[in-house]
């Protein structure tokens, strides 16, 4: 048996994933059991970022990082497992708003991030420091170092995404969604490079409007997806006519998209090569094909760790 | 029996206390069992204030407030009882310094304070909001809204007080102590009024150099103590030739003061009327009398809650 020299080795496949929160986190956790974690670069949504108690909170970046670090609370789908909320209780006693559940261990991440940002570091630098400190071998990149903030227009006016999603539990009518700051934001060089140099780009099973939408709203990202030589694949977060989790349905409808895998295909049609959709939606395959998107039918429900791995493997196979 | 009309009532005695941390907190807790809590105004030391993880921490103000709120951890003499340190553990994982033990519930106080200060509120306003939220009926006033920071000169250079006291556990040689910012600071009007309007001013059994010293270093405070019509009484934190707790001995020596109740008397001689000192130091009475200070001999060790009350009662009786 002859061992190849380092220089003879094929460059490992580089997978770049665009990611939101819970669904992406589970899918990426599965993916890093199929490929080497350091072959993965995650481009994370910052549209959910918010200030809470004076701290910069990046919920989606943290959910992905915690999942890849083996720390995610699987029951809640966010935050750190075996978390406590004692600071939150003390904040309530001080009369501060506590609808956003910041746990005691999770707080350290926000304190650290806020302190580093205040010292002049970029969100990219801080995110890198956090993922390394937590032992995550995949790169985690915020889509932009400039603020992009998803806002939801309700009959009562504009709400920040966390106000809509967590405080109001998404139980208000949605008239519109926009991404404040996106038009002035730019993707980081690392993000553009990760898309251009990838052997495959995967859009995780995330809300197309408020998880992937804020990334796509940054000038230059859609163009990069269009021009990358890599195959671009997406996993539909919609099964039948409802999202697997979260408020994606209501938000897609507000944006005039059908609440179905077809709506996901339409949102991404400009640059999407493959859409992985659930067995229950097999009937949509001909319509997707007509859009120029190759449908791949599989079980997309990640009910356990094994299902995360199986779905990841199916997506990887679909890139050939 | 005739009940006096409200207007006939004597104005309640207003007690103003200058306070550091643990010793002061226990003494004041006893005092508020002898007088009504709302008859007490505490002027707290801010020389120990520090920034930790980007947060404004006011250890002495908090120790006093927690004690008066019934929250103090009596075993440690600081912080909140039944505290957890889960955020601290997560901060260690992120590589941040964790020698200053910030508990999860305690963190809420610092987050709240930092957010209010950043929003433009004064330390006086924030301290008032915190003590009211925690149900403390006594006023708690920082000596100044301007920063005054105790620094300790060691053979290795200047250290902030918490670096010296907590990080280095006071185990370094002390060459000098100063109060950075004090000469440009001014006492708040509330502080000057509390001294001028009091029926008695009590200097708590606190370190004269790093607890009371930073208050006295603010221009106008010594003058206020000199001109108040109130009797000014102090409780010695030194018994024999050693402090009851903390590094007062080393710091007094560095400032050229005898490490004894006599040293305390010398530090306060310009305006002190009465010094309450421990039975073991009864032999110093003639020397104190020669300084123009009336000695009151009692047991000053607050070994339990009853002893705190007894000492407070003795001090109150000594004001007549």
Q: What ranges make up the beta strands (E) of A39-170?
A: 40-44, 50-52, 55-57, 139-142, 149-154, 157-160
pLDDT at B234: 98
B156-188 residue pLDDT tens: 999 999 999 999 999 999 999 999 999 999 999
CB neighbours of residue A191 within 10 Å? 26
Characterize A205-217 residue by residue with b for buried, 16 or more Cβ atoms within 10 angstroms of its Cβ, and e for exposed. bbbbbbbbbbbbb
Closest CA of chain B from A205, distance in Å: 29
Residue B178, both tokens: 């100063």
What confidence category does residue A63 fall into, taking pLDDT thresholds of 50, 70 and 90? very high
Domain of A96? 6-317
- Helix or strand holding residue B234 (H, E): strand B231-235
pLDDT exceeds 50 at position B49? yes
Closest Cα to residue B23, out of B247, B256, B273, B294? B247
Chain B residues touching A84 at Cβ < 8 A: 84, 86, 104
User: Does the structure show a pLDDT above 60 at B1?
Assistant: no
Residue of B55, B104, B131 to mutate for A, most A C-beta atoms under 10 A: B104
| pLDDT grade for B5, boundaries at 50, 70 and 90 | very low
Among B86, B93, B114, the residue with its CB nearest the CB of A54 is B114
Q: How confident is the model at residue A11 (pLDDT cuts 50, 70, 90)?
A: low
pLDDT, tens digit, 9 for 90 and up, residues B120-142: 999 999 999 999 999 999 999 99
Total tally of structural domains belonging to chain A: 1
Residue-by-residue DSSP string for B214-226: HHHTSTTHHHHHH
The CA distance from B232 to B272, in Å, is 5
Q: What does the pLDDT read at residue A8?
A: 39
Question: What pLDDT score does B223 carry?
Answer: 98
CA distance B262 to B274: 12
Average pLDDT over residues A33-52: 97
pLDDT for the residue A50: 95
Strand, helix or coil for residue B41 = strand
Q: Which CATH number does the domain housing residue B251 bear?
A: 3.40.50.10680
- To the nearest whole Å, the CA of B99 is away from the closest chain A CA by 15
The CA distance from A18 to A216, in Å, is 10
Q: Which residue has the higher pLDDT, B9 or B271?
A: B271
Q: Which residue of A has its CA nearest to B107?
A: A87
3-class SS of residue B19: strand
The pLDDT-based confidence of B12 (bands split at 50, 70, 90) is: low
The predicted-structure confidence for A233-282, as pLDDT tens digits, reads as follows 999 999 998 888 888 889 999 999 999 999 999 999 999 999 999 999 99
pLDDT, tens only, A152-202: 999 999 999 999 999 999 999 999 999 999 999 999 999 999 999 999 999
Residue A1 falls inside a structural domain:
no
| pLDDT at residue B144 tops 50 | yes
- pLDDT at residue A3, rounded to an integer: 42
Mean pLDDT across A44-60: 97
Residue A200 is predicted with a pLDDT of: 97
CB A106 within 8 A of CB A80: yes
Closest by Cα among A204, A39, A240 to A138 = A39
Task: Check residue A2 and give its pLDDT.
Answer: 41
CB atoms near residue A172 (< 10 Å) = 16
Report chain A's C-alpha Rg in angstroms: 19
| Tens-place pLDDT, residues B66-92 | 999 999 999 999 999 999 999 999 999
- Look at residue B1 and tell me if it is in a domain: no
What per-residue confidence (pLDDT) applies to A286?
97
* Secondary structure of residue B135 in the 3-state scheme: coil
> Is B17 inside any structural domain?
yes
Tens of pLDDT, residues A270-312:
999 999 999 999 999 999 999 999 999 999 999 999 999 999 9
Q: Is B40 part of any domain?
A: yes
CB contact under 8 A, A93 and B54: no
Q: Is the pLDDT of residue B9 over 60?
A: no
DSSP states along A16-61: EEEE-SHHHHHHHHHHTTTS-GGGEEEEE--TT-EEETTEEE-HHH
The pLDDT value recorded for residue A53 is 96
Neighbours of A67 (CB within 10 A): 27
Q: What is the mean pLDDT of chain B?
A: 94
Percent of chain A at pLDDT > 70 equals 96
CA A60 to chain centre: 6
Q: Answer whether B111 sits within 8 Å of A86, measured CB to CB.
A: no
Q: What is the mean pLDDT of residues A25-45?
A: 97
Residues of chain B found within 8 Å of residue A112, distances taken between Cβ atoms: 53, 91, 94, 96
Cα–Cα dist A218/A144, whole Å? 8
CB atoms within 10 A of CB B156: 9
* Residues of chain A contacting B, Cβ within 8 Å: 53-55, 80, 84, 86-91, 93-96, 104-109, 111-112, 114-115, 118, 129-130, 133-134
Question: What band does A12 get if pLDDT is binned at 50, 70 and 90?
Answer: low
The closest CB to that of A130, out of B80, B94, B118, belongs to: B94
- Does residue B310 or residue B11 have the better pLDDT? B310
Q: What is the pLDDT of residues B261-305, one digit of tens each?
A: 999 999 999 999 999 999 999 999 999 999 999 999 999 999 999
In a domain, A200, yes or no: yes
CA B138 to chain centre: 14
Q: Which long-range contacts (CB under 8 A, 24 or more apart) does A290-296 make?
A: A291/A265, A291/A266, A293/A265, A293/A268, A293/A269, A294/A318
- The predicted structure's pLDDT at residue B8: 40
Asked if A66 contacts A79 with a C-beta cutoff of 8 angstroms, the reply is yes
What does the angle CA A192 – CA A198 – CA A201 come to, to the nearest 5 degrees?
90
**Where are the extended beta strands (E) located within A26-162?**
40-44, 50-52, 55-57, 139-142, 149-154, 157-160
pLDDT at B4 over 90: no
Position B2 pLDDT exceeds 80: no
* CB-CB contact of B114 with B55 (8 Å): yes
Percent of chain B with pLDDT strictly greater than 90:
91
CB A214 within 8 A of CB A58: no
Helix (H, G, I), strand (E, B) or coil at A122: coil
Partner-chain contact A114 B54, CB within 8 Å: yes
Q: Tell me: pLDDT of A5 over 70.
A: no
Contacts of A55 in chain B (CB under 8 A): 111
Percent of chain B with pLDDT over 70: 96
| Domain presence at residue B127 | yes
Q: Do B108 and A90 touch (CB under 8 A)?
A: yes
- Cβ contacts (< 8 Å) between B94 and chain A: which residues? 108-109, 112, 129-130, 133-134
């Amino acid at each position: 048996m002859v061992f190849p020299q380092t220089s003879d080795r094929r460059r490992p496949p580089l997978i770049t994933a665009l990611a939101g929160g819970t669904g992406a986190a589970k899918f990426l956790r599965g993916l890093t059991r199929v490929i080497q974690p350091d072959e993965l670069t995650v481009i994370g949504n910052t549209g959910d970022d918010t200030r809470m108690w004076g701290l910069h909170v990046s919920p989606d970046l943290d959910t992905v990082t915690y999942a890849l670090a083996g720390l995610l609370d699987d029951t809640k789908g966010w935050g750190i497992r075996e978390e406590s909320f004692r600071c939150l209780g003390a904040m309530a006693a001080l009369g501060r708003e506590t609808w956003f559940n910041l746990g005691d261990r999770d707080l350290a991440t926000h304190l650290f991030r806020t302190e580093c940002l205040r010292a002049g570091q970029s969100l990219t630098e801080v995110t890198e420091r956090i993922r390394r400190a937590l032992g995550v071998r995949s790169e985690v990149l915020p889509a932009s170092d400039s603020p992009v903030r998803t806002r939801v227009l309700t009959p009562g006016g504009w709400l920040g995404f966390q106000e809509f999603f967590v405080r109001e539990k998404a139980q208000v009518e949605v008239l519109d969604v926009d991404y404040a700051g996106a038009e002035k934001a730019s993707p980081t060089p690392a993000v553009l490079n990760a898309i251009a140099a990838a052997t495959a780009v995967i859009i995780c099973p995330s809300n197309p409007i408020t998880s992937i939408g804020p990334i796509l709203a940054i000038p230059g990202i859609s163009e990069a997806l269009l021009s990358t030589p890599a195959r671009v694949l997406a996993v539909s977060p919609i099964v039948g006519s409802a999202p697997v989790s979260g408020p994606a349905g209501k938000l897609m409808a507000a944006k005039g998209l059908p609440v179905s895998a077809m709506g996901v295909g339409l949102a991404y049609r400009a640059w999407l090569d493959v859409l992985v959709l659930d067995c229950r939606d097999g009937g949509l395959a001909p319509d997707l094909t007509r859009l120029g998107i190759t449908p791949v039918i599989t079980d997309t429900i990640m009910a356990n760790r094994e299902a995360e791995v199986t779905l990841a493997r199916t997506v990887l196979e679909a890139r050939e």
